[in-house]
Amino acid sequence: MPYVHTNPQNHSSNRQTLSHIQLIRMWAAVLCLIALLAVGISRWLHGWANPKCENGILPPGSMGFPIIGETIEFFSPYFFYDIPPFIKKRMQRYGPVFRTSLVGRKVIVSTDPEINHEIFQQENKSFLIWYTKTFIEVFGQQSLVAHHGMVHKYLKNLILQLVSPENLKGKLLYEIDKATRKHLNSWASLGTIDVKEGSGEMIFEYFAKKLIGYEEETASNKKLRNNFQAFIDGLISFPLNIPGTVYHACLRGRKNACKVIKDIFEKRKASKFPHNDFLDHLLNEVESQDSYLNEQMAIELVFALLFATYETTSAAITLAIKFISDHPKVLEELTKEHEAILRSRDNENSELTWQEYKSMTFTHMVINETVRLANIVPGIFRKVMKDVEMKGYTIPAGWTVMVVPAAVHLSPGKYENPLEFNPWRWEGKELHVGSKTFMAFGGGIRLCVGADFAKLQMAIFIHYIVTKYRWTVMKGGDIARKPGLTFPNGLHIKISEKQAMPRSF
């Protein structure tokens, strides 16, 4: 075989050329992957920003950033006296119905009274009550808000056995009257009080005892109310569950509160001693073979009832006192109405009667005007079960609709000078039902079951504070939303008992 001479430098050059080719191919593959990824992300972003509707036209709007949508802006605190800026800005840009994205959900927001009414009328048909996953996590998987249909109806009837008009008239009126007088007398002895704190304590003390026989002062280091306060502070907050956040404190407060309630359940079951409270009735229902109720549902029902009465009613009372303080003519008219009730009695120091409560026409006008402006619930959510066409738009199945009571309650088209506190606007109108333009207590079959209780508590409180006491706001009174109603620095009043005036005959 002849000898073939090879140059080592040629081998090295060939290897370098091959390496360069492989490197170019590798970078080409990487660039192709990047391009494909960019195209995929671009298409996904375009799809996110421009959702499709197969069976009609979606309302206009913006979906915000991917995943988080417009959640951060929705949760931003704002000034009390107006439609939420998040809603108002989009109403001006898109009209009364628009789309957005909140906490990962595609949402249609309605500020239209006709559409809102139709949504409530189609409950359990085209629409189903819905809350965010984090909200259900806070309230509980077995809570009232998590159930529909027959189970919801059953739980609602259970609650009505406690707060029905018949029970309010027969039992609760006297008990609330007694508790209110006791606490107002205590306020006067202190001289100054934060109305939100004091009314919250008054309602919680009464209702916790009525529900489960719980008394804070004898609870042996189990401060149930403190846990509820931590729960409330984070209830409507950004759902970031890490230590140090209000949402984390909220979940911890819920866990601790439910532990206290569960311990009371266990102790009551073991004792078999009747206490003649709502818990006795719940225990009987749990043990009944034909009942929907289990122990966890009963615990979460008690938890929800304590929250609803404690927080929402105390907020409404505080706001009412602020409004009455700011409007002397309202105080004058209230005083006239309630002093007339005293003069009509044989003994003016006797307890309120149901007939007297029902006669408080101007008082109920004040209550309606307070809750109209309060808008304690920032939004009412429903899940869309099937495509629904309303006013030329399609609300697609799988989306969520949010009804915004504040947008209706503060609309110049529905109320003259809507930001003004004017109880006389209710003169001659129905004061005890909801409507297309008044949904302070919700609507449809989900109308708040405790509405009558809240109004009774407010009326009794107003009766005694205008007839038996003088008060002056000392500090506080600022109101903000996060988006729930809050009083950052409380409402502190100086309060004293009125001197008894001799009766003239």
Q: Is residue 10 scored above 60 in pLDDT?
A: no
pLDDT confidence tier of residue 254, bands split at 50, 70 and 90: confident
Q: Does the pLDDT at position 483 exceed 80?
A: no
Confidence class for position 236, pLDDT limits 50, 70, 90: low
Instruction: Give CA–CA dist 257/251, Å, rounded.
Output: 10
Tell me if residue 164 falls in helix, strand or coil. Answer: coil
Helix or strand run (H / E) with residue 439? none
Among residues 466, 465, 457, 467, which one has the least CA distance to residue 348?
A: 467
Q: What is the pLDDT of residue 504?
A: 46
> Which residues pair with residue 493 across a beta bridge?
193, 473
Compute the distance between CA of residue 69 and CA of residue 104 in angstroms, rounded to an integer: 7
CA angle 149, 152, 155 (to 5 degrees): 150
pLDDT at 349: 83
Mean of the pLDDT values across residues 485-491? 89
Percent of the chain with pLDDT over 90: 41
> In the prediction, which pLDDT does 425 show?
96
Taking residue 254's Cβ as centre, other Cβ atoms within 10 Å add up to 23
Whether 146 shows a pLDDT value over 80: the answer reads: no
Contacts of residue 202, Cβ cutoff 8 Å, sequence gap at least 6: 179, 180, 183, 314
CA distance 502 to 505: 10
* Residue found by looking up tokens 């009455």 in the block: 324
Of 291, 292, 286, the C-alpha closest to 265 is 286
**Model pLDDT, residue 221:** 47
Give the residue, 42 or 431, on which the prediction is more confident.
431
Quote the pLDDT of residue 480.
Answer: 84
* Angstrom distances, CA of residue 168 to CA of 162, 172, 173, 338: 8, 5, 5, 20
DSSP lists the bridge partners of residue 388 as 395
Highest mean pLDDT among 247-251, 269-273, 450-454: 450-454
Structure tokens at 87: 């809603």
Residue 391 vs residues 59, 118, 344, 432: alpha-carbon distances, Å: 10, 11, 54, 30
- Domains of the chain in start order, with CATH, are 113-497 (1.10.630.10)
Alpha helices in 126-245 (DSSP H): 133-139, 149-163, 165-167, 173-190, 195-212, 224-235
**Residue 340 above 90 pLDDT?**
yes
What's the pLDDT score for residue 320? Answer: 97
Largest CA distance in the chain: 146
* Residue among 8, 6, 75 nearest 480 (CA): 75
Does residue 218 have a pLDDT over 90?
no
CA torsion angle for 323, 481, 409, 137 (degrees, to 10)?
-130
DSSP-derived 3-state class of residue 496: strand
Instruction: Give the per-residue pLDDT at 444.
Output: 73
Report the DSSP beta bridge partners of residue 63: none
Rg, Å, the chain Cα set: 30
pLDDT value for 48: 61
**Tens digits of residue pLDDT in 413-426:** 999 999 999 999 99
In this prediction, residue 287 carries a pLDDT of: 87
pLDDT-based confidence at residue 505 (cuts at 50, 70, 90): very low
Average pLDDT over residues 98-117: 91
Task: Answer yes or no: is 258 a known binding residue.
Answer: no
Decide if pLDDT at 139 tops 70: no
Mean pLDDT of the region 126-134: 76
Q: pTM of the entire structure?
A: 0.86
Q: CA 409 → CA 34, 88, 424, 489, distances in Å? A: 51, 13, 15, 26
In angstroms, rounded to a whole number, what is the distance separating the alpha carbons of residues 69 and 86?
13
Confidence category of residue 291, pLDDT binned at 50, 70, 90: confident
Measured between alpha carbons, how far is 188 from 184 in angstroms, rounded to an integer? 6
DSSP strand pairing (380-384 vs 400-403): antiparallel
Better-predicted residue by pLDDT, 9 or 85: 85
Residues 382, 121: Cα–Cα separation, whole Å: 12
Mean pLDDT of the 461-475 span? 96
Q: 294 with 151: CB under 8 angstroms?
A: no
Question: CB within 8 A of 275, min separation 6: which ones?
Answer: 213, 268
Residue-averaged pLDDT of the chain: 84
What is residue 503's DSSP assignment?
A: P
Q: Rounded distance, CA 88 to CA 225, Å?
A: 36
pLDDT at res. 41: 62
pLDDT at 380: 86
On the question of a cis peptide bond just before residue 502, with omega within 30 degrees of 0, the verdict is no
Q: How far is CA 251 from the centre of its chain?
A: 16
Q: φ, ψ for residue 86 (rounded to 5)?
A: -55, -45
